[in-house]
Amino acid sequence: MSKFLLDYTLKVRLPLIIFTLILVFTVTYFVSYAERNGIGYEPDQPVTYSHKLHAGEMKIDCKYCHTGVEVSRSANIPSVDICMNCHNVARKDKAEIVKLTNYFEGNSPLKWKRIHKIPDFAYFSHASHVGKGIDCANCHGDVTQMKVVVQINSFTMGACLDCHRNPEKRIAEFYTLVNTHNIKKGPEYCSACHR
């Protein structure tokens, strides 16, 4: 290789390659950021159930279906029986309700795709948040306006701690709690969430 070519490779080509690699990494990092956090995750569901219609327009209480939300770790996804309380009469002839009825009569569970999820090694309880008056919207956004539920917040450790350090600020940004000034900070010691 001539001296000129070697120089060219070292001074021009190499920095260019390194620059490109860094650029690609940086762009990918930021573009995929939301996806890695789960933000924007909005899977198609087996039945086109709308929260906007049921919880928004018809104002059915969240707890009618998410029965565990004040009393246990998990909020619970309702079984088809709960839907059938109404849909054994309401809109029986519609395609989606026929589907629903088939699940019910076939006794087969409706496998809704899970949207919000933290890893098993971390502990979270709905009861200890909702029970203290923290509204669903602080973590899930305004579900009453969602035709299809979509994750709008990050559910990483950083996001948990962000609110735990300063709940008044975080909660005021979203929904007005009756008594925001009375709210305690959330725990920051590791074993609160890793037990």
Per CB under 6 A, which of residues 23..82 are in contact with ligand HEC? 45, 47-49, 51, 53-55, 60, 62, 64-66, 69, 74-78, 82
Cα Rg, the chain, nearest whole Å: 24
Of residues 90 through 129, those in contact with ligand HEC by CB under 6 A are 90-91, 94, 96-97, 100, 112, 114-119, 122-126, 128-129
Please state, in angstroms and as integers, the Cα–Cα distance from residue 186 to each residue in 14, 99, 132, 183, following that order.
50, 43, 11, 9
Q: Give yes or no for residue 177 binding ligand HEC (CB under 6 A).
A: no
CA pair distance 25, 191, nearest whole angstrom? 34
CA pair distance 182, 195, nearest whole angstrom? 27
64 and 82 in contact (C-beta within 8 Å)? yes
Q: Which stretch binds ligand HEC (CB under 6 A): 3-11, 15-23, 25-33, 83-91?
A: 83-91
Q: Quick one: 20 or 88, whose CB is closer to ligand HEC?
A: 88
Q: How far is the CB of 84 from ligand HEC (least distance, A)?
A: 8
CA pair distance 87, 103, nearest whole angstrom? 12
Number of residues that bind ligand HEC (CB under 6 A): 73
128-167 footprint of ligand HEC as x/- string (CB under 6 A):
xxx-x-x-x-xxx--xx----x-----xxx--xx-xx--x
Half-sphere exposure of residue 146: CA atoms within 13 angstroms, side-chain side: 15
Q: Which stretch binds ligand HEC (CB under 6 A): 10-18, 19-27, 28-36, 187-195?
A: 187-195
Q: Quick one: 39 or 157, whose CB is closer to ligand HEC?
A: 157
Q: At 80, which amino acid appears?
A: V
Neighbours of 101 (CB within 10 A): 16
Neighbours of 155 (CB within 10 A): 18
Q: How far is the CB of 40 from ligand HEC (least distance, A)?
A: 13
Q: At 167, which amino acid appears?
A: P
Q: Quick one: 15 or 133, whose CB is closer to ligand HEC?
A: 133
